[in-house]
Structure 1
Amino acid sequence: MPLPTSRRWFGAAARRRRLPLLRPPGRPALATVLTASLLAGAYVVQAVAALAPNVPLLLAATAVSLAVEGVLYRWQRGVPALFAKAHADITVRHVLRDLLLVVGLLRLGEQHRETQYAPLLAGLLLCYALHCAIQAVSVLVRRTRTLPVVTRNIDASALRLSPAPPALLRRPGHRLLVFGLPATAGLTATAVTDDPRCAAAGIGLSLVLALAGLATLLLRLLPGRRPAGEQEVLAWFDAWLAEYRPTVGLYFSGGVASVYQAGMWLEPLARLDARPLVVLRERFMVSRIPATDIPIVCLPKVPTLMRLEHSTLQVLIHPSNSGKTSQVLRIPTIRHAFVNHGESDKLSSCNPYAKAYDEVWVAGPAARERYALADVGVEDKDVVEIGRPQLDAVRPYAGPPAGAYTTVLYAPTWEGWDGNPGNTSVIAAGENLVRALLADPGVRLLYKPHPLTGSVDPRAGAADRRIREMIRSANRTRSGPRPAPSKELAALTAELDRLTASEFREGADQAERMLVQCAPEPGRAEAVARAARAWEAAHWASLPEWEHQVVVDARPSLYACFNVADLLISDVSSVISDFLASGKPYAVANTGGMPEEEFRAAFPTVAAATVLTPDASGVPALLETVRHPEKDELAEERSVLKARLLGPAEPASQERFAAAVRALGAAALEHRRRASGRPAELPGQRREPVPHTVSPAPVAPGSVAPEAVSPGAGVPSGAPTRA
C-alpha cells in the first residue's frame, strides 16, 4: 500500500524548530564541595598555626592538606581544575604549603638559628626550579613524540617509536606531589623535633628525585632516542600509501559519544573486494574505533590530509557530517558518498549539507522520496539505494513468544538539539510506558536508552534515572530460578576482551600505541565475529528469563537486543528502520501532540506501527497482538514498509553497497583520466583537452588504474570536483 509523506510537514517542522534547551547552571556534587572546602580550610588552619605558632596544629593541617591532595588526584580530578581556574594550581598550593612550614620554623626557632634555615630555603627554591625545568623538557619531549600521522593496524616500526616516558614525569600535579613529598615531610619533622637535619634530608631527597627525572627526560631528546621528525614521517606515510594503494575509505570526525556511527560501517567496508582504509581527524579517536583489521590513519592537520589527493584512494564514505568534513571534500581526485549512520524521518536525515557530497547512499525508496520532498538541494540522480548492509546480523521473525515471558525492547532516542518535544519519549511518556510494561507479569523488559540521553535537556536525564530505578525495584519484587554463574560466559568475555582491546600499559602515549597497535593477527576480525556471536548467546543464557534488564554497555549490541525481543517500542528514529529488518511488531510513542493520522502521514516509518499516546493506555492491547499474531493487523504493512525503507531483499545489501563503491570508484578514475589529459591553460586563454593517444586498459573491480598509482597522478587542488 502507498505510504504518504507530507511535503507540508517539512516546512512546518522547520518552523517549529527552537533553540536548544539551555542547561541550567549545574550545582557541584556535595562531595566536591566538601573536598574543596576541606582543602581550603586546611591551608587557613596551617597559616594560623604557622603564625601562632602551634606545632600540633601545624602538623595536623599539613597532613590533612597532603591527604586531600592525594584524594583529589585519585578520585576527584575535577576539583584541581576548579582551583586552577582561580590560579591556585598544584604548584601554587605546594609552594604555599612549604612556605607556611618555613614561616612556622622561623617563628618557632630562636633568633640566632634563622641563618641555619637559609640553606634549607635555598634548597627548597632549587626544587621548584627543577620542577619548572622538568615541565619545560617534558613539553619538548611530548612535541617530539607528537607525530603528524597517527596509525593503527599499520607497521610503523620504521619511525623509531619507543615506549613513552614514565607518566609521572609528564603529569605536573602528580610529579610535584611525589617529588615534593620528602621535602614537605622533612620540614614538618623539623617543626616537631627542631632538628634542621630532617628538613635537609627531605629536601636533599626531593632534589635527587627531581634531578633523576630531568635526566631521564633529557635522554629522550638525544638524536638517537627521538622518533622520526615530521618530514620523515610524512615521507614514510607517502611511501606506505604507494605500497598499500587504498581504493575505498571511511572518513570520520567526531567525539567519543559518536564513535558508534563509524563502527557500524567497519564490517561492510571490510567485506568489500577492495583495499579499505579508515581516515580519522581526532587523535583520541584512533583507540576508540572498535576492533577491525582495516588500516587506520589519523590526519589531524589539513596539509597532511591533502596528501591523500596524490594517493590511489578513489572513494570515501561518510557516516556523519562534521565541521571538518568540508576540508576533505576539497580533494578533487576522490569521490565522496554520504552513507549516514541510520535513517529516520527527522529533519536531520535530510540535512542540506548532504548536497556537498558527490552521491548520497540511502537504504530504500523512502529515503529517496524524503530528500525529494525536503527540497534541500540533493538531486535525485545523486541518490543511490544500497540497503543497510549492517542488518545481516538481524534475525527474521520466528513467530510469537514461545516461553513464559514476552520480551519487550524499549529503545528511546535522545532529546536532540532543537528541543522538539516529539524527539524523545523519555520525558513525556517513558515512565508511563515502563510502568505499564512492568505491570504485566508476563513481560520481560529490556531498556536501552540512547547514549546521549540527558546531554541537552536535564529532564531527560532525570527521567532516565527514574526509569532505571523503577526497573530495579520491579526486579526486587520478582523471584524465580537464577542460572548458575556461567564459566563459559566468563571465558568468552576474557577471549573477546583479548581480541578487541589492545593491552596498553598505564601512561602509554600515542606514539607508544602506534608501536603496540601494529598489523593485527591474520583472521582476527573473523575470530572477533565468532567470539561476539558466542558471547551474545552465553550472555542471554546466563540471565534469568524473568529478570528485566537495563542495557547500557557496548555489549550486548542493539542488534543482539533485536534478536531476543518480541516487540520494540521506540521513537521516530533509525532504530525503527533497522528493526523492520526482523519483521517483528513495533510501536512508536507520539509525544509531539500531533493527531495520529497526521503523525502517520508525517513520518513514513510509523505507517506500520502501533501508535502509543503518552499515557501508555494502548500497551495492554499491543501486547495482546504480539502474543496472538492472528490479531496483528499490521503484519502485511510491515512487510511493505520494510521493502520501502530498506529496499528489496535481492540482491543483498552488501552486494548493492559493493556495486555502488565500484561505480563511484569508476567515476573517480574517469575524472582522473580526463584531468591528467588536460594541459595547463594560460591566464585568459582556453585550450581544448588533448585526447588520450592510448586507450586505458580496463580496470578490475576494486583495483586501481595504473596512472592513479604514481604520485604524479593527482590533480591540482583547483581542478573541478566532478567529471
Structure 2
Amino acid sequence: MGALRLAGRFVNDLAAAVLAAGAVLLAWRIAGGPWLPAAATAIGAGLLWLLRPFAARVTAVKVIAGARVAGLPAVGARARRAGAVRWTVALGSVAGVLVTLAGWRWPAAELTVVALAALCAVTLRAWQVVRRQRATLDKIATKIAKTRPQFAIYNCRPRGSAYQIAMWKDLLAASVRPGIVVVRQESALRELQDRVPWPVVLCPRSADLEAVLAPTLRTVFYVNSVARNTDMVAWRGPRHIYLGHGDSDKALSSSPSHAMFDEIWVAGRHSIDRYAAAGVVIEPAKFVAVSRPQLAALRDPDPNEPQTALYAPTWDGYNSKTRLSSLREGERIVADLIGAGLRVVFRPHALSRQTRAGRKAIRRIEGLLRDDARRTGAEHQWGKVASAPGFVTVASIAHVLVTDPSSVVVDFLATGRPIVVIRPRGDAEAPDAPVTGLDARVLEGVYVVPSSLTGFRDEVRVALGEDPRAGERAVATAAVLGEKPAGGWDGPWRDQLARVLGPAGDQ
C-alpha cells in the first residue's frame, strides 16, 4: 500500500520518465546503431524524471535569507536552484532524444550522465544549505544581532504590504533608531528590500523567528491583522504593538485578534470606542492614543493652484463586509469631476492593482485623465506621481476629497475641507440611512452620494461652494481625532516611541 501511495503522488513524473525513455528508444530505432548507448541514454533520461520530484522538494525548502545583513543568503538563491532543477531535467531529456536521433549515440549517453550529475549537485547543495542553517541557527542570530535592531516591523503578507509599512516608515526612520523588517515570504522580501531603510530578513518557519530576537530588540510593530501574526506574538521578550495601517470604521479596524497584542496604538477615543461598538472586549490598559502622527506634514493648498479634487477609492476587500470600493464607477466619477472644471488627482488603493478588474478600471481612468490633460492642458495627476507620495502630500493640494468608507476619510478630516463619500453598493439609498464602514458621527460631516452616482456633481458643487456641512465636520473631527496635540500631530507618537524604545542611541 505504501508503494502504491508513493506511486500515486508521483504518477506524472513516472509517466514522464516512461515517455522520455520511450522517446530515446524510438529515436534509436529510427537512427539505428548499437543498442548499448541508446539503452544508457534511455535509462538516464528516465532517471532525470524519476529524481525530479525529490530534487524539486529539496530545492523548494525555504531558508532564512535577507537583505543588508552580512552573511545571509540573498532571496534569489533558492529560486535559482529550483529553476536549475527544472531546466536540467527538461533539457537533459530532450537533448538525449535529439542527439540520439541525430545518430550521435555515445554523446547522447554522456549528455544524460552530465545532466544527472548536475541535478544531483544542485540537490546536494540545496540540502547542505538547509541542513547547515538549521544546525547553526544561533550563528544566524548572531549575524542579525550585529545590526542591533531596537524595533522590528513584522509582516507575513506575501505581497502588497509596502503601502502599509510606508505609512509608518518615515516616522520610524525619523526616530533614528535601528530597526529590522521581518517577513515570511520570499515575494515580500523582494518587494520590500529596496523600499525600506532597514535590513529585511526572511524567516520561513516559525522556529526561524527566534533568530531575529536580538538582545537589543525591544518592540515588534504589526501593520496588519493577518492570522500568522500569532507566530511572532508567541515569542515573549519584546513588546508586541499593533499599529495597523490607517484609522477607519471598517470591520478589520476592530478585529478581536488585536487582543493578543501587548499594546494597540490608536488615534484617539473614537478608535477605542469602535471596539466596544463592535462587541469586541479588550483590556482598556492595552490602548495607547498616539493621535495621527502622519498629519504633522499636512499643509493648505496653494491659493495660486486650480481647484483640485482628490479621488481616492478603497479596494474591494476580502468579503462582502469589506467590499466598499467605488472603483468600478470611477470612470464616471472622474468624468464628472473633469466636467466640473476640476483638476483631478487619482490615487487608487494599492491593492486594487492586484486584481484584473482593478487594473482594468485603473487603466480606463488614467486614460481618461491623460486624454483630458492632452486636450485641455489640465495638470491632472495619476500613476506614481499621485500614489508614490504619502497620503498627506496629495491631501495637502486637494480642495475636496472623493472617496469610499476608509481611513482616508479620517485623515482628511484634519484638513477641515469637504469630503464626498460614495455609498457602497448594497447599502440603503435613503439620504439618512447609515453607511457601511462609516461612523455615524463622521457621517454627519460628509456629503454622501448613492452608488448610482445620482446627484454626484451637484454634491461636489455644494461642497466646494457654501459647504453647509462644515460645522458638523468640525464636530466630527473633534470626536474622531480630538484636539490637535500641543506638540503637534506627531507629539504623542514621539513620546510613546521614546517610552517603548528608550532614548535615541540607547542600545
TM-score by length of 1: 0.58
Alpha-carbon distance, 1:473 to partner: 5.7
Mapped to 1, the partners of 2:458 and 2:505 lie a distance apart of 52
* SS across alignment from 1:261: helix
2:497 aligned with 1:661, yes or no? Answer: yes
Aligned-pair CA distance for 1:587: 0.7
* CA–CA distance in structure 2, aligned partners of residues 466 and 142 of structure 1: 36
In structure 2, relative to structure 1, the CA distance for the partners of 1:95 and 1:394 (3 Å cut) is: farther
Q: Does 1:703 align with 2:506?
A: yes
Is 1:185 the counterpart of 2:85 in the alignment? no
Deviates more, 1:617-626 or 1:409-418: 617-626
Structure 2 distance, partners of 1:454, 1:166, is: 25
Is 1:122 the equivalent of 2:26? no
Q: How far, CA to CA, are the matches of 1:307 and 1:173 in structure 2? A: 32
CA distance in 2, matches of 1:606, 1:205: 76
Please state whether the residue corresponding to 1:288 is helix, strand or coil: helix
Q: Which of residues 257, 267, 278 is equivalent to 1:374?
A: 278
The residue type paired with residue 125 of structure 1 is I
Q: Which has the larger radius of gyration?
A: 1
Question: CA, structure 1 residues 593+475, in 2 after alignment: closer, same or farther (shift >3 Å)?
Answer: same
Q: SS state of the match for residue 432, structure 2?
A: helix
Distance in structure 1 (CA, Å) of the matches to 2:458 and 2:440: 23
Q: Flag the 1:168–1:430 CA change in 2: closer, same or farther, 3 A.
A: same
> Which of residues 405, 409, 412 in structure 2 aligns to 1:572?
405
Indicate the RMSD between aligned Cα atoms, in angstroms. 4.3
Match of 2:347 among 438, 442, 448: 448
Aligned-residue identity in percent: 22
Separation (CA, whole Å) in 1 of partners of 2:81 and 2:67 = 26
Match of 2:336 among 423, 436, 456: 436
Conserved in 1, the CA contact under 8 Å of 2:222 and 2:243? Answer: yes
Question: Which amino acid is the alignment partner of residue 413 of structure 1?
Answer: T
Q: Counterpart in 1 of 2:421?
A: 588
- 1:386 to partner: Cα distance: 0.7
TM-superposed deviation, 1:656: 1.5
CA contact (8 A) 1:127 1:206 kept: no
Q: Which residue of 1 aligns with 2:3?
A: none
| 1:213 matched to 2:118 | yes
Counterpart in 2 of 1:172?
Answer: 85
Distance 1:657 1:384, change over 3 A: same
Q: Which amino acid aligns with 2:34?
A: Q
Contact 2:48 2:116 in 1 (8 A): yes
Equivalent of residue 252 in structure 2, options 348, 358, 367: 348
The match for 2:4 is none
Residue aligning to 1:611? 448
Taking the aligned partners of 1:138 and 1:464, their CA distance within structure 2 comes to 34
Q: Does 1:413 align with 2:320?
A: no
Q: 2:26 maps to what in 1?
A: 103
Aligned to 1:291: 195
**Residues of 2 paired with 1:313 and 1:474: CA distance?**
47
Q: Is the 8 A contact 1:468 1:550 kept in 2?
A: no
Secondary structure of the residue aligned to 1:633 is coil
Aligned residue in 2 for 1:203: 108
SS of 1:266 mapped into structure 2: helix
Measured against aligned partners, the alpha-carbon deviations of 1:59-85 in whole angstroms (never above 9, x if no partner) come to xxxxxxxxxxxxxxxxxxxxxxxxx99
Over residues 663-715 of structure 1, what are the superposed CA-to-partner deviations in whole Å (9 max), with x where a residue is unaligned? 346xxxxxxxxxxxxxxxxxxxxxxxxxxxxxxxxx857736xxxxxxxxxxx
Show structure 1 runs of 5+ residues with no match: 1-83, 190-197, 482-543, 666-698, 705-723
Question: SS at the partner of 2:272?
Answer: helix
Amino acid at match of 2:491: E
- 2-structure distance, mates of 1:273, 1:162: 27
Q: Which runs of 5+ in 2 are unaligned?
A: 1-7
Amino acid paired to 1:584: R
In the alignment, is the contact (CA less than 8 A) between 1:566 and 1:626 conserved in 2?
no
Cα contact 1:184–1:202 (8 A) shared by 2: no
CA shift for structure 1 position 643: 4.5
Cα distance between partner residues in 1 of 2:77 and 2:314:
41
For 1:384, what is the secondary structure of its paired residue?
strand
Matched to 2:488, the amino acid is A
Among 340, 351, 364, which residue is 1:469 paired with? Answer: 364
AA aligned to 1:178 is L
- CA offset digits 1:148-177 (Å, max 9, x no partner): x433322227x9x99949937744332233
Shift of 1:387: 1.9
Cα pair distance change 1:259/1:208, threshold 3 Å: same
CA shift for structure 1 position 578: 2.6
2-structure distance, mates of 1:422, 1:282 = 26
1:232–1:464: structure 2 CA closer, same or farther, 3 Å change rule?
A: closer
One-letter identity of the residue aligned with 1:610: Y
1:145-160 equivalences in 2 (<5 Å): 147=63, 149-156=64-71
Give how far 1:589 is off: 1.0
SS of corresponding position for 2:310: strand
Q: Using the TM superposition, give the Cα deviation of residue 468 of structure 1 relative to its aligned residue in structure 2, in angstroms.
A: 4.0
Q: Which has the higher mean CA deviation after the structures are superposed, 339-348 or 406-415?
A: 406-415
Report the equivalent of 1:424.
325
Q: 1:104/1:139 Cα in 2 relative to 1: closer, same or farther (>3 Å)?
A: closer
Structure 2 residue matching 1:277: 3-state secondary structure: strand
Q: Which amino acid aligns with 1:183?
A: G
Q: Is the 8 A contact 2:251 2:321 kept in 1?
A: no
Equivalence for 1:402: 305
**What is the SS of the residue equivalent to 1:596?**
coil
* Shift in alpha-carbon separation, 1:86–1:558, aligned structure 2, 3 A: farther
Sort the Cα spacing of 1:550 and 1:271 in 2 relative to 1 into closer, same or farther, 3 A: closer
Amino acid at match of 1:437: L
String of CA shifts for 1:193-225, please: whole Å, max 9, x gaps: xxxxx24166146236426625854895899x9
8 A contact 1:571–1:589 mirrored in 2: yes
Q: Residues 649, 637 of structure 1: CA spacing in aligned structure 2 closer, same or farther, 3 A cutoff?
A: farther
Match of 1:562 in 2: 395
Give distance in 2, aligned partners of 1:339 and 1:162. Answer: 27
Instruction: Quote how far apart the aligned CAs of 1:573 are.
Output: 0.5
Deviations 1:541-575 (A, max 9, x none): xxx53567466996355455434444321111112
Question: Displacement, 1:336?
Answer: 2.2
Q: Which amino acid aligns with 1:660?
A: Q
Residues 1:164 and 1:454: Cα distance change in structure 2 (over 3 Å) = closer
Give the deviation of 1:388 after TM superposition. 2.3
Q: Does the 8 A contact of 2:418 with 2:446 survive in 1?
A: yes
Paired amino acid for 1:317: F
Hey, what's the Cα distance between the residues in 1 that align with 2:20 and 2:262? Answer: 62
Counterpart residue number, 2:5: none
Q: How does 1:246-325 map to 2 (within 5 A)?
A: 246-289=149-192, 291-306=195-210, 311-325=215-229
- Counterparts of 1:355 and 1:365 in 2: how far apart (Å)? 17
* Secondary structure, aligned partner of 2:160: helix
Counterpart contact for 1:162–1:227, Cα < 8 Å = no
Equivalent pair of 1:410/1:568 in contact (CA under 8 Å): yes
| Cα distance, 1:328 vs structure 2 | 2.9
Judged with a 3 Å threshold, the aligned counterparts in structure 2 of structure 1 residues 646 and 92 are, in CA distance, closer, same or farther, namely farther
Matched, 1:237 2:72: no
1:334 aligns with 2:170: no
Tell me the equivalent position of 1:14.
none
Q: 1:210 to 1:255 in 2, by over 3 A?
A: closer
Question: Structure 2 CA distance, aligned partners of 1:329 and 1:162?
Answer: 25
The match for 1:57 is none
Give the CA deviation at 1:362: 0.8
Secondary structure of the 1:575 match is helix
User: SS at 1:410's partner residue?
Assistant: strand
Matched, 1:597 2:400: no
Q: Measure the CA separation in 2 of the matches of 1:569 and 1:222.
A: 54
Is the contact made by 2:290 and 2:493 (CA closer than 8 Å) also made in structure 1? yes
Q: Could you give the per-residue CA deviations for residues 66-110 of structure 1, whole angstroms, max 9, x where no partner exists?
A: xxxxxxxxxxxxxxxxxx999546x8458536624643763x68x
Q: How does 1:7-156 map to 2 (within 5 A)?
A: 88=12, 92-93=15-16, 96=19, 99-100=22-23, 102-103=25-26, 106=29, 116-129=34-47, 147=63, 149-156=64-71
